[in-house]
Structure 1
Amino acid sequence: MPDLQQTYTALVEHLRETAVLRSCGGLLGWDEQTCLPPEGAEHRANQGALIAGLVHERSTSPKIGEWLTELAVVEGLKGAESPEAAVVREARRNYERSTKLPRKLVEELSRVGTLSQQEWVVAKKNKDFAHFEPWLTKMIGLKREEAQAVGIPKGGVIYDALLDDYEPGASTAEINSVFAPLREATVTLLSDIRGSGKRPDDSILTRSYPVDAQGEFAKKGASAIGFSFTAGRLDVSAHPFCSGIGPGDCRLTTRYNEFHFPGAFFGVLHEAGHGIYEQGLPRAQFGTCLGEAASLGIHESQSRMWENLVGRSLPFWKHFYPQAQAAFSDALKGVKLEEFHAAINDVQPSWIRVEADEITYNLHIMLRFELEQQLIDGRLEARDVPDAWNSAFQRDFGMTPPDASLGCLQDVHWSAGLLGYFPTYSLGNMFAAQLFEAAREKLGDLDAMFARGEFMPLKEWLNTSVHAHGQRYRSGRLIELVTGKKPTPDALIRHLNSRFRPLFGV
């Protein structure tokens, strides 16, 4: 009989070494988005492809299959939800998925993703979809190939094969079922707000906010909610993101616009939320599922919670507004706290997803979710994306983007091959609201804490309730364990109504 502990140790060591190699690719990816000279894109693509191939080679080693066979008894010995069983479960899931993908395809996805992202930056800057279309066509073809190789889950659709990479166990049908009541509630609330005739003065937010001051103020906000800059940093990129390179190294990016305060500040709070999750994962478990986020939906719940449920709340600004007035004395001279708070919670259709208000944001996600399914199952080709996007945008927002940079070129995701990712944003909003309700029940008067500048009780509760488990539980099970309820959109709907109906008197 094999020595199970020895086998388990061998598996974990292999996983950790593979994770270190993968993190080298992550560092190259961060550098690509922040520092890479344009003429270095092709060489970077080759570097990334090589690392992706090496990671794939290690991830499909026959040794893993042998170890997993020996460790099949762990669940029975330790329990289905034990840490050891989780490590074996997720190692098996990743091994089975990886062995279905040819190394050549993995390398090509990496190579094309690097080059495609560089061309996306050019196309977006020039508002030129035709420049990007060949790269999107190539990427969609590769993602269809990946989905076919992975296989369609029983009773599912081809899109499920990609969705599972970001939200394990989720299905398109399940997401549609929770998005339907959220869309209905969103449309009703929007209609009531539009009928109120009440609008805050959002011109407050488009005055001159010097970029240097924005950067310093944003870092203060990120530090206050618990992001450690001794284990992380903040830089500039074309599209904001967070990269958890490894223990002690988490990197955030944002972008600045002197004449739009919310973009950078709330973008940094958002990415800092991701970063707090990365910094809260157990360092000793790096390389195993116990040191990884439960899912992209759970990851997004952390960023959206700090950005919106905390960062756009009145108590948050009772603490931070005097500091904002000191940092931006010209822009905020004579502006009352309540006027500023109303402005950052304005509700109106907007072109850009990452700058959308809390209510319309989910409509942005549902639009992308709809188009992604069509791209993967072949109902929509890359060349037809602008027309399809504009038509859906007109349907949902009542306006048509004036150019591709404000429409289908605004997000980096498709250029990077991240199809199946978008629905996790709205799942994250749902999870965030449900977790926040549970935090209020457990911690007490969060509003009073925030008004005093006390954010650590919430951060530490998230550390112990969510972050410490890593991927021990699937997202639905984790939400149920923490909140006592299965995931639903109900808490998000309650939050949206309780925040925005009083603001607009409806």
Structure 2
Amino acid sequence: MSAEAAYEKLCEHARQTAVLATALNVLEWDERTQMPRAAGPYRAEQSAYLAGLIHERETDPARGDWLAELVESPLADDPHGDTGCVIRQLKRRFDKKTKLPQKLVEELTRTSSVGQTAWEKAREADDYSLFLPLLEKTIDLKRQEAEAIGYDDSPYDALLDDYEPGETTANVARVLAGLRDRLAPLVAQIAASDRAAPSEIITRHYPAEGQAAFGVQAAAAIGFDFDAGRLDVTAHPFCTGLGPRDTRLTTRYDEDKYDGGLFGILHEAGHGIYDQGMPPELFGLPTGDYVSLGIHESQSRMWENLVGRSQAFWDHFYQPLQRVFPEALADVSKEEFCFAVNESKPSLVRTESDEATYNLHVIVRFELEQALLSGDLKAADLPAAWNAKYKDLLGIEPPSDADGVLQDVHWAAGLFGYFPTYALGNLYASQFFEQAAKELGDLDAMFARGEFAPLREWLREKIHSQGQRYSAAELVERVSGEPLSPEPLMRHLTAKFGGYYGFGAE
């Protein structure tokens, strides 16, 4: 068989596998949005069966044979070219997947499905004991996964690589420790300020119907295509792709706290814009897939915070918002509203925290999940450890597990190694945004006019369309001309919060 014929076989096999993977995504989307709770046990079996079929295909010896022929062929000579990227990334994936027993893959999927249902019940009841057995089982399975894959220094390395390929626990720990050291003085300056945000504005009554309508309007304005996607309600917001022209967003609404629903929509729309910006004809291949979760998170955090919480965004959108909520906002100026949605203070819930303190929430989770995997922390002791870390890093202690250890679905879903990508996403986002401003000009002026397409198209060209041609570290340097640095994020945070809270830039 020629290299060209082997390459066609490999691509066809990968595309067909993507059909199965997106079918599993449909089941998982339905489970978290529409599925009746009693259907959970059978849904777990459906998901486990599909996951097993996907694993069979990803570890098919025929795929190994095609790859063995292709890695030495001229088609692989340029690792960043179309064919070279596909061969390199599918070889990497094949080598990793063949280390995992199919029964373990199926059991991980089954436990994740049942675990998420148990998490929802425990969160509603504010009863950690309802979730504990499933968490203990999940941790045991993730340890088995790490051992099967193998690692050099830490079992966490094997799991982190699923989300941030090529990254190490030691390097992430170093990056986050440095960021924490830079954030601590900023958070202290904010706490010492005599200025206070008019947060009462956010806790007025905002009917969910109006929140949904305005959220769709704003998401469409920044570039999410609702002809190729939709928005639904869930307990823990997420975005998922069900195919090259089918991207699902979710959010949740609190009628007595406005900012969560809107900024949740903008956040998930940022993820969706990334998915919609990848070449649809390459769906199922590495050239049509995202680089890493940290890069994916950079897109959501950019649209949520660097755009959506900016004064310029509300120069354009504040009057329309007032028309949707006249009773809540008739007596509120645009400046007051912007300060309210940019309030900074220690809080309990990661998804509702401000930009200055957000990464501290991530650090808590990063440290705890390493301890759970290593065995230094027992799952039964997790709530106490969680509360102690919040007291230490944020100066507050959760009054309940629902607002503490049960607030995130990630561990229920088996997503150990996922959390640090949120902080990396913030770093990537600020570095990309600074470079976009250098190349495009006055972004604030564009946003104030309702012009979001220039930034969106810049991101599509520089990031979305690149697929997996470059690693996250390579992509950042290629786009910005510099390796990843905390400086752009710190410049942004210092300027924003210095303006609101009355202290100067560094």
Alpha-carbon contact 1:202-1:346 (below 8 Å) kept? yes
Q: What is the 5 A alignment of 1:2-21?
A: 2-21=1-20
Return the alpha-carbon distance in structure 2 between the equivalents of residues 81 and 48 of structure 1. Answer: 34
Alpha-carbon contact 1:75-1:82 (below 8 Å) kept? no
Q: CA deviation at 1:397?
A: 1.1
- Tell me which residue corresponds to 2:256: 259
Q: CA deviation at 1:187?
A: 0.5
Q: CA deviation at 1:76?
A: 7.6
Secondary structure at the counterpart of residue 131 of structure 2: helix
Return the alpha-carbon distance in structure 2 between the equivalents of residues 215 and 416 of structure 1. Answer: 27
Secondary structure at the counterpart of residue 7 of structure 2: helix
| Pairing 1:42–2:57 present | no
| Pairing 1:337–2:337 present | no
| Pairing 1:60–2:59 present | yes
Q: CA deviation at 1:80?
A: 2.5
Return the alpha-carbon distance in structure 1 between the equivalents of residues 194 and 173 of structure 2. Answer: 32
- Tell me which residue corresponds to 1:23: 22
Q: What is the 5 A alignment of 1:104-503?
A: 104-152=103-151, 154=152, 156-503=153-500
| Shift in CA distance, 68/307, structure 1 to aligned 2, threshold 3 Å | same
Deviation digits for residues 211-270 of structure 1 (CA, Å, limit 9, x no counterpart): 000000000010000000000000000000001111110000000000111000000000
Deviation digits for residues 472-506 of structure 1 (CA, Å, limit 9, x no counterpart): 11111011111111111111111111111111001
Return the alpha-carbon distance in structure 2 between the equivalents of residues 175 and 119 of structure 1. Answer: 31
Secondary structure at the counterpart of residue 172 of structure 2: helix
Deviation digits for residues 15-37 of structure 1 (CA, Å, limit 9, x no counterpart): 00001101000000000001111
Deviation digits for residues 32-62 of structure 1 (CA, Å, limit 9, x no counterpart): 0011111100110000000000000011110
Secondary structure at the counterpart of residue 243 of structure 1: strand
Secondary structure at the counterpart of residue 327 of structure 2: coil
Return the alpha-carbon distance in structure 2 between the equivalents of residues 64 and 157 of structure 1. Answer: 30
Return the alpha-carbon distance in structure 2 between the equivalents of residues 10 and 369 of structure 1. Answer: 40
The one-letter amino acid of 1:127's match is: D
Return the alpha-carbon distance in structure 2 between the equivalents of residues 239 and 231 of structure 1. Answer: 22
Return the alpha-carbon distance in structure 2 between the equivalents of residues 317 and 492 of structure 1. Answer: 21
The one-letter amino acid of 2:272's match is: G
The one-letter amino acid of 1:52's match is: A
Deviation digits for residues 172-195 of structure 1 (CA, Å, limit 9, x no counterpart): 111112112211111000111111
Alpha-carbon contact 2:47-2:110 (below 8 Å) kept? yes
- Tell me which residue corresponds to 2:78: 79
Alpha-carbon contact 2:79-2:469 (below 8 Å) kept? no
Secondary structure at the counterpart of residue 406 of structure 2: coil
Alpha-carbon contact 1:44-1:114 (below 8 Å) kept? yes
Moved more, 376-385 or 403-412: 376-385
Secondary structure at the counterpart of residue 57 of structure 1: helix
Alpha-carbon contact 2:398-2:404 (below 8 Å) kept? yes
Q: What TM-score, normalized to structure 2?
A: 0.98
Return the alpha-carbon distance in structure 1 between the equivalents of residues 71 and 264 of structure 2. Answer: 44
Return the alpha-carbon distance in structure 2 between the equivalents of residues 76 and 247 of structure 1. Answer: 26
- Tell me which residue corresponds to 2:501: 504
Q: CA deviation at 1:77?
A: 5.7
Return the alpha-carbon distance in structure 2 between the equivalents of residues 73 and 438 of structure 1. Answer: 37
Q: CA deviation at 1:75?
A: 6.4
Q: Which runs of 5+ in 2 are unaligned?
A: none
Alpha-carbon contact 2:76-2:83 (below 8 Å) kept? no
Moved more, 171-180 or 266-275: 171-180
How many aligned residue pairs are there?
503
Q: What TM-score, normalized to structure 1?
A: 0.98
**In angstroms, what is the RMSD of aligned CA positions?**
0.9
Return the alpha-carbon distance in structure 2 between the equivalents of residues 385 and 224 of structure 1. Answer: 42
| Shift in CA distance, 77/161, structure 1 to aligned 2, threshold 3 Å | closer
Q: Percent identity?
A: 51
Q: CA deviation at 1:74?
A: 3.9
Which structure 1 residue ranges, 4+ long, deviate > 3 Å from structure 2? Answer: 74-78
Return the alpha-carbon distance in structure 2 between the equivalents of residues 119 and 65 of structure 1. Answer: 38
| Shift in CA distance, 389/10, structure 1 to aligned 2, threshold 3 Å | same
The one-letter amino acid of 1:142's match is: L
Alpha-carbon contact 1:74-1:85 (below 8 Å) kept? no
Return the alpha-carbon distance in structure 2 between the equivalents of residues 259 and 145 of structure 1. Answer: 44
Alpha-carbon contact 2:76-2:87 (below 8 Å) kept? no
Return the alpha-carbon distance in structure 1 between the equivalents of residues 335 and 275 of structure 2. Answer: 34
Moved more, 267-276 or 496-505: 496-505
Q: CA deviation at 1:352?
A: 0.6
Return the alpha-carbon distance in structure 1 between the equivalents of residues 473 and 121 of structure 2. Answer: 39
Deviation digits for residues 263-308 of structure 1 (CA, Å, limit 9, x no counterpart): 0000000000000000011111111111110000000000000000
The one-letter amino acid of 2:69's match is: E
